[in-house]
Chain A
């Protein structure tokens, strides 16, 4: 199937999200659409998918002019999209999820599950996907869930697959599987659009690359006619940032320590976790997601109780303290999930930026808040961290992913607490925001704070940490010096226990 966007423009009020963009997509081709968050990639694709019907310009499918009223039109024309945030029913089986809303029904309105199962199994076999269709989606790993999303499209006979940031949540293994599937689709003549900002992946798998920047199409070339450097330059529109400089530190005081802590939900055979973070260093915890990092972080922050052991922050035992007491003693926390843990999306920027400081003296007298100071404070955060938003009264929901994350980072770092916990702080954000966030973390380190960085990205761990632990199957490795360890060695440790972590299973049993 051939598809073409012809001189598409989308305006939100006076803001031009997509400006006169023309793109063409050919069958049997993987077309990568790259650019920073907020560059207009997703908006352009939402036009093609029928999510956005308020646009100027034309869509041609197989050289015919089409105009969708809704995504349903686009789907019936063979276009399918996998969103960054999956849209699955966790309590239903894979099969039920796949056929949802296009079930094969007989005359009496009963669903013919046998026939559906056969069709779905055929698809699974022919594209070599690693899923069991009888399993509940809630029991699947993130990578498998994504495969289910893709299966949904295949079941609807989509000839044209749009994938929005598909690798953001995947482990290296799962990524390979996904790319294998994508190659299979390509071989069968399907057309694939990959919305991404990871250039390495583009170089690996794409046939054609189009770069967007602030609503404009900067370039659209075959991969063989361009280079990594050129793509990168096109994305950020200037020179590449320099690698981050860091101060030589000689940490000697402990900022945070875990002494033989046992965390429920981490099946380590009762093996306790010990960990030290000195003031003035970044300790990285590497690992494939779902190996217990989440529970570890929750235990440190105080959202999850521990069974035994001690946690010392500023020489105070915080094991029995609640979150607010720990934050007061000296902890700040950048959560992985900015959508529901890091931010309240329907609250304003101002309300979000003051949440854990509201009871501090300058912010309020304990009963009434000092609105003037709140405005001053949040406006200062917005300008210092280059957060792009209309006004501090705007709802956080209206901001792009990178700006949301910058807001979380700004709020947490601004408190200048002794221990900073950063959990996948750059998940799904654009290069500009990644650089900014990394710089701020290093700055905190150089100022003598203790930073615990939990990340699934090896590059991030290697680039920022002074010392590294690897977490696999609920266990923490010995600490490794980052200048003596290689990515391969880390990868090996991360994957040393390849079977699904028991902790993951226990996690699911948790109410």
Chain B
């Protein structure tokens, strides 16, 4: 434990040094940059930037939860990106074609995103059970068809030609996620908070969550104990995919109000979510602060670029360093069966 604390301390100091020297390289003032960073992440008029951070944090945390659920069941689902895109696309498709709006409409659109993405994630499970394709490979490869199916749909059948961009028509206003009164923050983050609570209960209190965890810790143990591991794996994948799909639907209904090609891929929501989940060693409650942390880095970086003239990429480099530090921890998160002692 103390050793872990030391390594955390060492990593933080190293990061700070790298950060400082990068700012020095960019020929900017260190303290001005830092202030700009914090203002960009948490400040702004009426806390406008903080709200941007929260909105982004919701998406990243959602993806982190999706990753966490699969990982703790021993399913290395790194296809969050594909599930996110499919969820977003399906919800945009339903939203455009839905004849009515309002809460019921929003509910239906969100549900459509969840179902589509859940089925997409289950494909990898089916490939595993019937064809023996490892989950890691299956989920990763399914990212590509997802991405290009979406590209095709928004460039051809669903394209809003007048806009001149590969994107769908704007969604009917009554289907937009409402804003918090007096702000520009939509209520998508509340959905994510709600899911977060549900997942906490799932992990700590439900039979399903318990059985998934046991399957993840040792599949032989689960099999010998009479758990239906195939069913558990499929269910867990579907759940993980459904949460990714919900994130996609929230991004469509809350932020963009349409599906634009690449809008869910470029910001790396899914991958950042995976890193966030791994960074906290798959501790369920900790994904919330982790998601917020990564969102803050991004908004802070934008703020730094605006006011202190420090390129945004510097923050991205720092984030990359964090990911590297985390990556060195990944093997232990997935190799829990190596025994020590008897």
Do A and B share a complex?
yes
A169 within 8 Å of B (CB atoms): no
CA separation between A37 and B227, bound complex, in Å? 31
Residues facing A in B225-239 (CB within 8 A) are 225-228
Residues facing B in A278-294 (CB within 8 A) are none
CA separation between A355 and B339, bound complex, in Å? 21
- Does A358 contact B211, Cβ atoms closer than 8 Å? yes
- Does B207 contact A368, Cβ atoms closer than 8 Å? yes
Query: Which listed residue (A85, A301, A327, A344) contacts B218, Cβ 8 A?
Result: A344
- Does B224 contact A335, Cβ atoms closer than 8 Å? yes
Residues of B within 8 A of A364 (CB): 207
CA separation between A139 and B223, bound complex, in Å? 26
Query: Which listed residue (A42, A84, A344) contacts B214, Cβ 8 A?
Result: A344
CA separation between A343 and B207, bound complex, in Å? 18
Residues facing A in B33-75 (CB within 8 A) are none
- Does A324 contact B228, Cβ atoms closer than 8 Å? yes
**How large, as a class, is the contact surface on chain B?**
20 to 34
CA separation between A401 and B342, bound complex, in Å? 5
- Does A369 contact B340, Cβ atoms closer than 8 Å? no
CB distance from A38 to the nearest CB of B (A): 9
A371 within 8 Å of B (CB atoms): yes
A416 within 8 Å of B (CB atoms): no
- Does B210 contact A369, Cβ atoms closer than 8 Å? yes
- Does A340 contact B342, Cβ atoms closer than 8 Å? no
Instruction: Identify which of B223, B225, B228, B336 gathers the most chain A CB atoms within 10 Å of its CB.
Output: B225
Query: Which listed residue (B206, B214, B221, B339) contacts A341, Cβ 8 A?
Result: B221
Using known A-B contacts A355-B214, A368-B205, determine if residue A324 contacts B221 with beta carbons closer than 8 Å.
no
- Does A339 contact B205, Cβ atoms closer than 8 Å? no
A428 within 8 Å of B (CB atoms): yes
CA separation between A368 and B220, bound complex, in Å? 24
Q: Which residue of B lies closest to A331 (CB)?
A: B226
Using known A-B contacts A340-B337, A359-B207, A428-B342, determine if residue A324 contacts B226 with beta carbons closer than 8 Å.
yes
Q: Which residue of A lies closest to B226 (CB)?
A: A324
Query: Which listed residue (B205, B220, B221, B341) contacts A42, Cβ 8 A?
Result: B341
CB distance from A246 to the nearest CB of B (A): 28
Using known A-B contacts A347-B213, A368-B205, determine if residue A339 contacts B339 with beta carbons closer than 8 Å.
yes
CB distance from A169 to the nearest CB of B (A): 12
Using known A-B contacts A367-B206, A367-B207, A368-B205, determine if residue A346 contacts B342 with beta carbons closer than 8 Å.
no
Q: Which residue of A lies closest to B221 (CB)?
A: A344
A109 within 8 Å of B (CB atoms): no
Using known A-B contacts A358-B211, A359-B207, A371-B205, determine if residue A323 contacts B226 with beta carbons closer than 8 Å.
yes
A303 within 8 Å of B (CB atoms): yes
B123 within 8 Å of A (CB atoms): no
B102 within 8 Å of A (CB atoms): no
Residues facing B in A326-381 (CB within 8 A) are 326-328, 333, 335, 337, 339-347, 351, 355-356, 358-359, 364, 366-369, 371
Residues of B within 8 A of A85 (CB): 339, 342
CA separation between A347 and B72, bound complex, in Å? 12
- Does B207 contact A355, Cβ atoms closer than 8 Å? no
Residues of A within 8 A of B339 (CB): 85, 339, 345, 397
Query: Which listed residue (A323, A358, A368) contacts B224, Cβ 8 A?
Result: A323
Q: Mark B307-342, 1 if CB is under 8 A from A, else 0.
A: 000000000000000000000000000001101111
Residues of A within 8 A of B223 (CB): 303, 323
CA separation between A358 and B223, bound complex, in Å? 14
Residues of B within 8 A of A356 (CB): 225-227
Residues of B within 8 A of A344 (CB): 214, 217-218, 221-222
B103 within 8 Å of A (CB atoms): no
- Does B207 contact A341, Cβ atoms closer than 8 Å? no
CA separation between A343 and B224, bound complex, in Å? 10
- Does A333 contact B336, Cβ atoms closer than 8 Å? no
B267 within 8 Å of A (CB atoms): no
B145 within 8 Å of A (CB atoms): no
CB distance from A210 to the nearest CB of B (A): 20
Residues of A within 8 A of B221 (CB): 340-344, 355
CA separation between A344 and B215, bound complex, in Å? 9
CB distance from A386 to the nearest CB of B (A): 18
Residues of B within 8 A of A326 (CB): 226
A322 within 8 Å of B (CB atoms): yes
- Does B210 contact A342, Cβ atoms closer than 8 Å? no
CB distance from B152 to the nearest CB of A (A): 38
B interface residues (Cβ-Cβ under 8 A, vs A): 205-208, 210-211, 213-214, 217-218, 220-228, 336-337, 339-342
A interface residues (Cβ-Cβ under 8 A, vs B): 37, 42, 84-85, 301, 303, 322-324, 326-328, 333, 335, 337, 339-347, 351, 355-356, 358-359, 364, 366-369, 371, 397, 400-401, 404, 428
A-B contact pairs, 24 of them (CB 8 A): A37-B342, A42-B341, A42-B342, A303-B223, A322-B228, A323-B224, A323-B225, A339-B339, A340-B218, A340-B221, A341-B220, A341-B224, A343-B221, A344-B218, A344-B222, A346-B217, A355-B222, A355-B225, A355-B227, A356-B225, A367-B206, A369-B207, A400-B342, A404-B342
3 shortest interchain CB distances as A-B pairs: A324-B226, A401-B342, A344-B217
Given A37-B342, A368-B207, 6 other A-B contacts at CB below 8 A? A303-B223, A328-B226, A355-B214, A355-B221, A355-B227, A356-B226
